[in-house]
Amino acid sequence: MTRFALTLEYDGAPFMGLQRQGHGPSVQAAIEDAVLAITGEAVAMHAAGRTDAGVHALAMRAHIAVIKPITAFRLMEALNARLRAAAAPIAVLACSAVPDGWHARFSCIGREYLYRIANRRAPLALEKGRAWLVKQPLDADAMHRAAQALVGKHDFTTFRSMQCQAASPVKTLDRLAVRRVGAMVSIEATARSFLHHQIRSMVGCLALVGLGRWPEARIAEVLAARDRQALGHNAPPEGLYFVKARYPGEDP
């Protein structure tokens, strides 16, 4: 049996999320069904993250294990052919054989996400479904300053979904940066791991700062409240992208 690491790019719009669901399509089901068609084997795919419905990925890492003798290149080509035939908006960007002890989720030592806000009056044409449209002007500099209160080790209960299954609300946020390029405001978040809805919840509150509805100091106060009721807004999923997963021995 050979374990293969996959790097996946996908449009999350038509999926109920990455994990297999009983009530709709998922990225996991699409990959597992494609592997079954190629090898005749029912496999389980494990991924570095668990993106929600509508959330995208630029380079999600995952792994599968198959018994059939096949090279990484042939598997990647076959998977892309099957996914294309199924009209699934998923691409396998890379595939490589890895040691049996390598695990896409548990071996991961860092995850990076990107949230994109289109800050303009006009509706989205090319970016529809791939960014959050905010029509009122946003002060990205104020958002960045306020975001620094969230960097470090904290109890992120306020920014945690009620459905979150993490054992503890305490996480260490390594980086949270807000920058503007033209009409696009980008929020970059890096940590070893995140709580369910943590990034979308942080972005929603930072947007209130950018709109001038909250003072910058309010972010620190909301964090300290450790109360989901203190949350100002949860940003929609279409602006969120899983960017990168880091593993020991790989380039940062």
In the chain, the amino acid numbered 11 is D
Q: Provide the token pair at 99.
A: 């040691």
* 155 vs 104: CA distance, rounded Å: 26
* 203 vs 117: CA distance, rounded Å: 9
Angle (CA) 40 43 48, round 5°: 145
Using alpha carbons, select from 9, 56, 66 the residue that is nearest to residue 32.
66
CA dihedral of residues 42, 8, 245, 206 (deg, nearest 10): -120
Task: Kindly report the three-state secondary structure assignment for every residue of 36-62.
Answer: HHHHCCCCCCEECCCCECCCEEEEEEE
Using alpha carbons, select from 30, 108, 27, 38 the residue that is nearest to residue 71.
38
Marked catalytic residue, from 11, 33, 52, 174: 52
In degrees and rounded to multiples of 5, residue 96 shows phi and psi of -150, 150
Spacing of C-alpha 65 from chain mean position: 23
Using alpha carbons, select from 233, 231, 235, 232 the residue that is nearest to residue 158.
231
100 classed as catalytic: no
Q: By three-state DSSP, how is residue 174 classified?
A: strand
Q: Which residues participate in catalysis according to the annotation?
A: 52
